[in-house]
Amino acid sequence: MASKTICNRCLRLAASTLPSRAAPTTTRRAFASSASKQPSNARKLHQSSKQRAAPAVESSKQPTQEVPSYAGQNANQHNEGSRLLLQPNNLFHSFTNSPSPAIRKRAAFMKQNAYCPHPDHQATRTPLSPHDLEARKTGSKPPAHVRHECPDCGIPVSCCEEHFVDDYESHLEVCDVLREINEDDHDLHSGRFFPEFEYPGMQIEEAQVNMTNWDTLLFSREFNAVNDERSMRQVTRLLTYPMTVGSVLHELSPYNLNNRLLPEGLRSLSALRYTLHPPRTGGGIDIKGLRAQSPPVRLFILGARAESSLPREVWIQLSYLFPRATFHLIFIGPESMTNRDAEYPLPERTPSNPFGAIIEDRLGGQVKISTYVEYFQTLHQAQHFYPYDPYFDAFILFHPGLGHPASSHEWTDALPQLLETKVPIICTGYTEYDMQRDIEWVTKQAAGEMDMLLTPGENRFRSLRWDLNDLDPGDVSCGNWGIWGFRGKRYETDEYRGEPQQ
């Protein structure tokens, strides 16, 4: 208080001794210098010298009493604008000239690996489906990488402008989807705040979940309102994994006997639902409230790739659908820890941890996650997870590629072992053709030793966002588009009581 009083006295003394024109200038400079120091404490990084000097310049035009508050508001506006890379109305850019370095790097990768789909070129691989553009390549020209970008979608799709114009009619089939992918990718790199990625916590058990579709699920789970289609696509891209599993296992599942669920599927899922929805026990947090709890439900996610690196808050949403149950998520696959070595270095294999499992057991009290960088057949032969119980176990296969020519050999030994466990196996597919190809392969390999649990069809909780294959710009798909389920065949036996008496 003393320093402030002395300062005011000095100002009054200066106003009485100096000429009339110099007095207001001195006063404004004193306030401007003190005001310019306020926003510098809030953020000093990524702020140029011009931005730091801007509040002082603006303050000379305002009255002395309003200078500090105005300078703080102006600095906040500059900081908010500098944080954003792209505005919502400026998301479309060509991949090559994108303001995001990550997207420019992706464009360079596509130009080095993706080939032009024009029919005049020679084929570079075996067609993977009847709709594959590689199947129509019958020309004699050597293969050429993509170089020319479509002005409408901004993605390199042809080797030159002539081939792009000649094959423009075929490109129109996916041009709108590619533009949507372009804008969604730039939205992720725009630097904006994503309120749709703020997930709700546990809610009261009396608040039932409506699993009719994405809208009813997000509303009944009290997610933040998502009123934009692009935000809806972004949030469903992550939540499709836990919600796809929950939509099948939950007692309020949209799949029932009147909608794709078969009688054998009802038998298998009823056993799991008995564990996932136990009756109230009257337990509490005190000594008198201690009750015996059932073991956690084990979900074996085989061939784990992207799903194993999801934020753990996403997988915790699965436990909120079953407030009285606990889960043990087990990710198994050689790619389950790809690009995550810096986050979780692989532990050494010791007698107590023979397969180098990475265990995360402090995830809200209801979820435990274990990751094995190993093939399932190796763990099964060692009986690492034995025994399997249809009341507590289930297998989840996200886009396994069971019938894909490049990956089917990896499942040849694992499929008989999966059928041997007699527990439900839930599979998803990128497209309808991908799903049907897996079903045909499993049916052929099982040789009648399987029961279909869930009729193949579109997944109600598929990802609404489309994904682009960087090795083939014409190949677009969405995560968990289709879903189906099967199980090893169960044989019912009757007790023999002798010949009936006549």
Using CA of residue 243, residue 245, residue 247, residue 251, what is the dihedral sign? negative
User: Is 94 part of a structural domain of the chain?
Assistant: no
Q: How far apart are CA 336 and CA 371, in angstroms?
A: 7
Q: How far apart are CA 345 and CA 358, in angstroms?
A: 9
Q: How far apart are CA 7 and CA 200, in angstroms?
A: 52
Determine the pLDDT at residue 16: 52
* Residue 414 CB contacts under 8 Å (≥ 6 apart), including other chains: 302, 375, 376, 377, 380
Residues 150 and 267 in one domain: no
Asked which of 141, 171, 188 is the last residue of a domain, the reply is: 188
Q: Are 239 and 479 in contact (CB under 8 A)?
A: no
User: Is 327 part of a structural domain of the chain?
Assistant: yes
Residues 227 and 315 in one domain: yes
Q: Are 376 and 417 in contact (CB under 8 A)?
A: yes
User: Bridge partners of 395?
Assistant: 300, 425
Residues 181 and 230 in one domain: no
Residues 78 and 105 in one domain: no
Residues 106 and 74 in one domain: no
Q: How far apart are CA 313 and CA 304, in angstroms?
A: 18
User: Is 266 part of a structural domain of the chain?
Assistant: yes
Residues 258 and 370 in one domain: yes
Range of the domain at 131: 101-188
Asked which of 83, 111, 136 is the last residue of a domain, the reply is: 83
Residues 122 and 73 in one domain: no
Determine the pLDDT at residue 14: 54
Q: Is the pTM of this model over 0.75?
A: yes
Residues 366 and 456 in one domain: yes
User: Is 483 part of a structural domain of the chain?
Assistant: yes
Number of domains present in the structure of the chain: 3
Q: How far apart are CA 303 and CA 288, in angstroms?
A: 44
Asked which of 83, 111, 142 is the last residue of a domain, the reply is: 83
User: Is 180 part of a structural domain of the chain?
Assistant: yes
Q: Is 426 exposed, middle or buried (0-12, 13-18, 19+ CB in 10 A)?
A: buried
Determine the pLDDT at residue 13: 55
Both structure tokens of 165: 């114009």
User: Is 113 part of a structural domain of the chain?
Assistant: yes
Q: Is 241 exposed, middle or buried (0-12, 13-18, 19+ CB in 10 A)?
A: buried
Please tell me what DSSP assigns to residue 284. Answer: -
Determine the pLDDT at residue 364: 82
Q: Are 448 and 416 in contact (CB under 8 A)?
A: no
Residues 387 and 463 in one domain: yes
Residues 369 and 269 in one domain: yes
Residues 336 and 467 in one domain: yes
Here the CATH number for the domain that contains residue 366 is: 3.40.50
Half-sphere exposure of 16 (CA within 13 A, CB side): 6
Other beta carbons within 10 Å of 225: 11
Determine the pLDDT at residue 205: 86
Q: How far apart are CA 456 and CA 435, in angstroms?
A: 8
User: Is 321 part of a structural domain of the chain?
Assistant: yes
Determine the pLDDT at residue 86: 83
Q: With the CA atoms of 64, 70, 74 and 75 taken in that order, what torsion angle do they form, in degrees rounded to the nearest 10?
A: 80
* Residue 285 CB contacts under 8 Å (≥ 6 apart), including other chains: none
The per-residue pLDDT string of the chain (502 residues; one tens digit each, 9 = 90 and over) reads: 444 445 555 555 555 554 444 444 433 333 333 333 344 343 333 333 334 334 333 333 343 333 333 344 444 444 444 455 788 888 999 999 999 999 999 999 999 999 999 999 998 888 887 788 888 888 889 999 999 999 999 999 999 999 999 999 999 999 999 999 999 999 999 988 999 999 999 998 889 999 999 999 999 999 999 989 999 999 999 999 999 999 999 999 999 999 999 999 999 999 999 999 998 887 777 888 888 888 999 999 999 998 999 999 999 999 999 999 999 999 999 999 987 877 778 888 999 899 999 999 878 889 999 999 999 999 999 999 999 999 999 999 999 999 999 899 999 999 999 999 999 999 999 999 999 999 999 999 998 899 999 999 999 999 999 999 999 998 999 999 999 999 999 887 777 777 777 6
Q: Number of helices and strands (H, E) in the chain?
A: 15, 12
Residues 137 and 8 in one domain: no
User: Is 194 part of a structural domain of the chain?
Assistant: no
Residue found under tokens 């789970």: 221
Determine the pLDDT at residue 249: 97
Q: How far apart are CA 241 and CA 329, in angstroms?
A: 12
